[in-house]
Amino acid sequence: MYWIEWMLWYIQTSRLDSEMWQEEKEKYLAEKLAGKYKHEDDLPGIRDRVSDAPCAQGSIYEFNETYIEVVAGESQERRGIITYVSLATIYFLFGLAGTAILLNKVWFTGTHHSLKVPATTSDFVLGVFVALLAAASFYAVIRYARIFINLENFVQRRMLIRFNRLTRQVYLHRPRFAGGITVLDWEKVIVDAGVGHEEGAHTGTKLILLWEPSMPDHPYLHMVFVGKRADGTSDMVNLWEFIRRYMEEGPQSVPAPKKLLGKVPWPWLSVMAPLSFFRPLWRAGMRWQVACIVALTSPALALHAVGHWISLLLCWEPRWPRIIREAGLPGKPVPQLSTAADWPPLPKVEPAGKKPRRARRPAKSNAQSGEQASQEAGQSTSESMSGLEPDAHRQELK
């Protein structure tokens, strides 16, 4: 599910929120330049060692001398709920379309579709009405509900993040509505790994990597959730140390993963997805409590697992562009860093036009205002009377 990634990108690019986003961004950059956010200097940098046990077990898709590819996305294991809604919507649309086709056969046969009697006017009208209803339903889903369906269906199967140590670049592979494929500078990464926090403070969370916006070449904030969900703060710290050492010191400085993650959507992996929610409790020693919860909620977990698997089957595996696949190889070009020109320009919100204010007249005394009002009344009466014919004048007096 790409809910978090979509919302983050929507806030930055939508017509309604982009103006507020630009104002907040400019304010933040100005305050940072003035030294207001000095606490950010305490965050670990790419050359600061934060752990003696780098580990990325359960988070790596590919590992070689040139790059590592890591799990990305905040809610990938939660997909499945929208899938059921999507399937129900598709069933309704195609059922309505089939009914419209069946009813509109009357235009070719001239008989009722089931009774086989001569058609009446109501049969023709009903066919047209259902056809219009089906067309309106298809338009409403494609125009307004498609983005919610694409959060986990008919979209790329997973998000990817690739760290290339030879080009010193980071590549993001996201759906187009969440920012698309992006090339970022490794040197500018900001990490939130929870260094120095208590072990239980980040249970169930993920490592967060940030690339701040800068004007005018890099107008957007890129925030990526990396790796599997942590069973504790140490998991996040060790994962960041694994990535940092690989990029800074090379693959020989980190332990090679014992097992790489596969990309084939096997059904048993979908069964493990809802069970992964209980993993921190299981490792914390609450095993009999977890067993009871799983037994009580097994029907809901089974539905979630089926929806998760169907969602994966309705999506396709993402594929990197050729220039990124060959990045770092001898004689191959280095991809250009992403700039503002790689995305559509931000929508401009025109300020609402204000009505011109009427000029206020200076205050006058009661005597002057009364005298002026009587003069204006007498003048208007004489002008109106002089411009009327005798009959009209009498009618006016009446």
pLDDT digits (tens, 9 = 90+) for 99-150: 999 999 999 888 887 888 888 899 899 999 999 999 999 999 999 999 999 9
Res 27: pLDDT: 78
Banded pLDDT at 17 (limits 50, 70, 90): confident
Banded pLDDT at 196 (limits 50, 70, 90): confident
Residue recorded with tokens 């509900």: 145
Banded pLDDT at 37 (limits 50, 70, 90): low
Res 367: pLDDT: 47
Q: Residue range 65-79: average pLDDT? A: 93
Would the pLDDT of 349 be above 80? no
Res 91: pLDDT: 95
Q: Residue range 322-332: average pLDDT? A: 95
Residue recorded with tokens 């907040």: 24
Q: Taking the model in full, what pTM does it have?
A: 0.80
Res 11: pLDDT: 86
CA dist 176 → 14, 66, 262, 318 (Å): 14, 26, 24, 12
Q: Residue range 231-248: average pLDDT? A: 93
138 burial level (CB within 10 Å; 0-12, 13-18, 19+): middle
The chain-wide mean pLDDT, for the chain, equals: 84
Percentage of residues in the chain with pLDDT exceeding 70?
83
- Angle, helices 390-397 vs 366-386, to 10°: value is 140
CA dist 185 → 62, 172, 235, 337 (Å): 20, 11, 25, 7
Q: Is 346 helix (H, G, I), strand (E, B) or coil?
A: coil
Res 390: pLDDT: 40
Res 193: pLDDT: 84
* Structure token digits, residue 188: 């500018």
Res 284: pLDDT: 76
Banded pLDDT at 343 (limits 50, 70, 90): confident
Specify the range with the lowest mean pLDDT, choosing from 112-121, 199-208, 276-285, 380-389: 380-389
- Where b means 16+ CB within 10 Å and e means fewer, 41-67 reads eeebebeeebbeebbbbbbbbebeebb
Determine the Cα–Cα distance for residues 271 and 369; give it in Å rounded to an integer: 86
Res 63: pLDDT: 97
Q: What is the pLDDT of residues 354-383, one digit of tens each?
A: 445 555 555 554 445 444 544 554 444 444
* Structure token digits, residue 338: 């992403």
Res 195: pLDDT: 84
Q: Which is more confident, 324 or 287?
A: 324
365 burial level (CB within 10 Å; 0-12, 13-18, 19+): exposed
Q: Residue range 277-289: average pLDDT? A: 82
